[in-house]
Amino acid sequence: MKGCLFFIFFFWGGTLATAQNNKATILQFIFTSDAHYGVVRPFFRGQANVTGQEVNLAMLQKINSLPTAVLPEDGGVAAGKTVGPIDFIVEGGDIANRMEIPVQSATISWQQFEADYLHKINLTDHAGKPTQLMIISGNHDITNAIGHYKTMSPKTDASSMAGIYNLMMKPDVALTKESYQYNIHKIHYSKNIGGIHFMFINLWPDSAERIWMKKDLRKISRKKPVIIFSHDQPESEAKHFSNPNNLPFNATDKFENLLTEHYKDFGKAKTDGGKTALEQAGWERFIKRHGNIKAYFHGNSNWNQFYEYSGIKNEISLHVFRVDSPMKGKYSAKDETRLSFHVVTIDTLLRRMTVRECLWNTEPKNATASVQWGESKTITY
């Protein structure tokens, strides 16, 4: 009888410990991008010309409601369970829209972003601490800091870049919009969370950025899985590279000089649609050399899409997750019921990750309506 009681206690205690351990192995984050403070949506929830701040605040209200929402029965991680704690939120850049007249200055846009994303998110992580916010910069943020061939007012304003740098890089002396220098103050950093190495990179992994990435990856085991957050899609855009003729901004070439690497295929740029095959070749080789890079999240060209990036030679297979924008989504800009962000749930013990499309505005006339779930994809890393 004592043996039976011991077995029952041991089994029950083991089950409880396993349940507690399983709970501890869940890591969860939200990914959104392209907040674009400074522009307006033509229509939103029955109103016309709604500001970026109003739309982003509406999205944050839905994000704050997530812990009590129920995940869909899609066979993914934690399917059918309540969302619960959110460990961190990633904002993928383009916080301030490019300051083309009449768009407001980056200073105002950054002030609005700070007021909203730093003070109006009421979530906690699995340890009961406030949910962290991770931010990377976008092409609009960088352009505001360095200038553009299109007329902007003011001509430059590095407020969002300095703000992101101060929050994420934590310099001993905080930068200002006057002291920030893009060629020196690159925003790239990494975090080890739940046995995963998360890399937050500067715009796109060009040859210059890969120098930093290589040094960073040397610090971890080649067996540790890596997830990358970038503003640009894996192919990037030709115009984001530096002018191969070392010319200043001009409306003829239309290079934005955002990436340190110079565009290699300038002679064909006007005939091949500005493809980046030569630029991608180095990136593809980098992925092949670092097989522990398992996933890549991005914004810039915004709609919900889960796909595989195979490189220009079809020699790799990288899981890629493209996210929508609250202001400039390819489809949601015209159909607000398709507005979405990603809820990512990871079982760090089983090494499974489920990315779910969270539709947050399916009932525009009902601001209190619950979020709905769209596509989902589960990968094993």
Sort strands 340-347 and 189-193 into parallel, antiparallel or unpaired.
Answer: unpaired
Sort strands 196-200 and 40-44 into parallel, antiparallel or unpaired.
Answer: unpaired
pLDDT of residue 17: 34
Q: In the chain, pLDDT over 90 holds for what percent of residues?
A: 89
Sort strands 305-309 and 318-322 into parallel, antiparallel or unpaired.
Answer: antiparallel
**CB within 8 Å of 5: residues ≥ 6 apart:** none
pLDDT confidence tier of residue 268, bands split at 50, 70 and 90: low
pLDDT confidence tier of residue 2, bands split at 50, 70 and 90: very low
Mean residue pLDDT of the chain comes to 92
- Write the CATH number of the domain with boundaries 25-380: 3.60.21.10
pLDDT confidence tier of residue 247, bands split at 50, 70 and 90: confident
pLDDT of residue 87: 98
How far, in Å, CA of 92 to CA of 140, rounded?
Answer: 12
Q: Which structure tokens are listed for 380?
A: 């094993």
The pLDDT of residue 273 is above 90: no
pLDDT of residue 274: 80
How far, in Å, CA of 117 to CA of 139, rounded?
Answer: 20
pLDDT confidence tier of residue 24, bands split at 50, 70 and 90: low
What are the extents of the domains in the chain? 25-380
Q: pLDDT tens-digit profile of 353-371? A: 999 999 999 999 999 999 9
CB atoms within 10 A of CB 9: 10
Token look-up 């709905």 returns 372
pLDDT of residue 246: 85
Q: In the chain, pLDDT over 70 holds for what percent of residues?
A: 92
Q: pLDDT tens-digit profile of 80-91? A: 999 999 999 999
CA 121 from centroid of its chain's CA atoms = 17
